[in-house]
Structure 1
Amino acid sequence: MAQSWRSRRTDPDARRAPPLDRAGLERAALRYVERYATTRAKLAAYLKRKLKERGWGGDDAAPVEELVAKLAGLGYVDDAGFAAARATGLTRRGYGLRRVAQSLKAAGIAEEDYAEAEAAARAQAWQAALVFARRRKFGPFASEMPDRTAREKALGAMLRAGHELAIARRILACEPGYVPELDQG
């Protein structure tokens, strides 16, 4: 007699989960928002992906947008709060305003929801550039004054990190050892 625990299932649909209904879709949404800080756009994309994977078992169309609006109304999804947290985290790690704005747009946050976070990132632009320069040992944090090629590479890195050209040039022009913490003018 063959041992059943050794045999493999040949039916690929045997383990497939049943199609989602309204309650299942709501459970999936709640599990997602309890586990991740998210935005309305990310939650909607997640639910659409789940519907594509499992299918829809309801008679009418899947209420994705209605469910996203409901969870946002309950405060489980807060785009402005997500934007503020993401902007604070990126500026603390040394990324510039342009990189922060790109990240917020990629997360699907509307302009009115990230305006306050963008203003806070703009106010911290100088400190964020210093953090980036310290981490990469550029400008005032370098051991010696770099040659032209190294300065151009450093400028490119700062621009890719989202810093403004004027700020990047001022920091890279600093002598090693002179940290312009308060000299922002």
Structure 2
Amino acid sequence: MAQRKRRGPRPVSLDRLKQGALRYLGQRDASRAQLRRVLVRRVDRALRVHGGDRDEALGWVDEVLVYCERLGYLDDARYARGKARSMRRRGASERKIRAKLAEKGVAGELVDAPLEAEGGDAELVAALRLVRRRRFGPFARAEVDRDAHRKQLAALGRAGFGYDTARRALEMDREEAEERLHAAD
């Protein structure tokens, strides 16, 4: 069987960067900073092989970012709302959501809006979702001893939940936990 030769990167141009950005955003939503990192990486790879003016290419990257924002494909506020909602459904704490969005390059004020709109019980509901997924506390299959309870509290702490929230989620009875989860969905 013949091995396929790996093609190197194509020379960088404004049109190729636009096409690459639209293809990337067609596959997944991204923050402005994420898309910028992807495009700069593409530029650097192409310039290593073909040479060229890096400053000019980085100017094209900025043009492409403005172009994508103008078309509505790139919107950090929408990205923050969607990512926060998705992470909450999986049981992520506010702390974890803030850290993930900061890592993705989303500005702090854009992170505040979706988290403040959730309401007061959102953190407890997220903890309950994680507890259900991990089969902790009220969702455990067997009786939980003191050592296992301590380990479960530690796991929730590492997930970013405060002690009071973690304790409430673990000590809630199953019926009440399911009612709260059902009401939140």
TM-score by length of 2: 0.80
**Separation of aligned partners in 2, 1:117 and 1:36:** 20
What's the CA shift for 1:25?
Answer: 1.7
> Cα distance 1:148–1:30, how it changes in 2: closer, same or farther (>3 A)?
same
One of 77, 99, 104 as aligned partner of 2:74? 77
From 111, 122, 140, the counterpart of 1:114: 111
In the alignment of these two chains, the number of paired residues is 173
1:93/1:59 CA distance change after superposition, 3 Å: closer
* Structure of larger gyration radius: 1
For 1:20, the equivalent position in structure 2 comes to 12
Classify the secondary structure of the residue corresponding to 2:126: helix
Note the aligned Cα RMSD (angstroms): 2.7
> In the TM superposition, what whole-angstrom CA distance separates every residue of 1:26-57 from its partner, at most 9, and x where no partner exists?
22222212222111001100000001111164
Higher helix share: 2
Gaps of 5+ in 2: 181-185
1:97–1:118 contact (8 Å) kept in structure 2: yes
The Cα shift of 1:109 comes to: 0.5
Judge conservation of contact 2:14–2:64 (CA < 8 Å) in 1: no
Shift of 1:154: 0.2
- In 1, the alpha carbon distance for the partners of 2:166 and 2:158 equals 11
Percentage of pairs with the same residue = 35
Q: Structure 1 residues 24, 146: CA separation in 2 closer, same or farther (over 3 Å shift)?
A: same
1:154 aligns with 2:149: no
User: Partners of 1:106 and 1:160 in 2: how far apart?
Assistant: 18
Give structure 1 stretches of 5+ with no counterpart. 1-5
Q: Single out whichever of 103-112 and 60-69 deviates more from structure 2.
A: 60-69
Query: For 1:131-159, what per-residue CA distance to the aligned partner results, in whole angstroms no more than 9, with x for missing partners?
Result: 11111222222245422211111011111
Aligned partner of 1:140 in structure 2 is: 138
When residues 18 and 142 of structure 1 are mapped into structure 2, their CA distance, relative to the original with a 3 A threshold, is closer
Deviates more, 1:80-89 or 1:69-78: 69-78
Q: TM-score, normalised by structure 1?
A: 0.80
Are 2:120 and 1:125 equivalent residues in the alignment? no
